[in-house]
Amino acid sequence: MAEKPSPKPSPKPSPNPSNPIPSVWARQAAAADQPALSRAAIVREAIVMLDADGIEALSMRKLGARLNAGATSLYRHVATKDELMELAVDEVFGEISVPPADSPDWRAAATEAAGSFRASALRHPWLASVLGQAGLAYLGPNLMAYSERLASLFTNVGFPEPSRAIETLLAYVIGMSTTEAAWLTTVARSGETEADFIARLAPAAQQAASDHAHLNESYQESLALDPVEIRDSKFSYGLDVVLDGLALRLAP
């Protein structure tokens, strides 16, 4: 009886060049940077624009004008605004510090890491609000290195699920930073200091809270305090609560 021919293996799917992965990290960079224009220079200037005027004000056309470069030159290094945002996010993550994994006090180390993230998010008020929108930004080298340092810290401490612990910590920091950055952006647009803006807002706020006993008492107390100290205190309080909860997940 003749042997049946072996079935041929299914052909492997080939990449579809007409449908590339929409991320700057998934394609090759330009072969060589022009001396007067590089990806690094483009990203630095984009961050300056983002810090000053926010995401809505950033466009490839405006960025090219600031760099004295045409759109063709820009697109040679960065294909889309989405790619530009990926690069900007990763650049900022290079500023965020995480203590060594063998730090003697894991809570102090986590507090320092959270504080560094918050500081960067307030220097760059657009950052926290775009983390879930900036394509595949998490593939960037700075963000990957940051994630690895956090993973090393939380694994070394002994968390049974270090990734879950990290996600919980970052969810708090990103949420608080987003709200805080939005408030500071509103203050900046007024052209006043934070204290002056609050003082000007006080009569309307007092009127709004006058019929609510608990809110009115809390608001009256806050008027006598430094607004920066209030924001720092709120962040520290919530961070301590999160770390208290995470500590319960550690083995005795």
DSSP 100: -
Q: CATH topology for 33-79?
A: Arc Repressor Mutant, subunit A (1.10.10)
pLDDT score for 51: 94
Q: Report d(CA 171, CA 104) in Å as an integer.
A: 24
The three-state secondary structure class of 37 is strand
157 touches 106 (CB < 8 A) = yes
Pick from 118, 137, 138, 136: nearest CA to 128:
118
pLDDT of residue 156: 95
Specify which residues 202 forms β-bridges with: none
- Please give the pLDDT value at position 34: 46
- Walk along the chain (252 residues) in steps of 10 and give the mean pLDDT of each run: 53 58 63 65 94 89 87 82 90 96 96 97 91 70 94 95 94 94 92 92 86 82 87 97 95 70
Model pLDDT, residue 122: 96
Answer whether 148's CB lies under 8 Å from 94's CB.
no
CATH code that applies to domain 106-247: 1.10.357.10
Cβ neighbors of 4 (< 8 A, separation 6 or more) are none
Sequence spans of domains, the chain: 33-79, 106-247
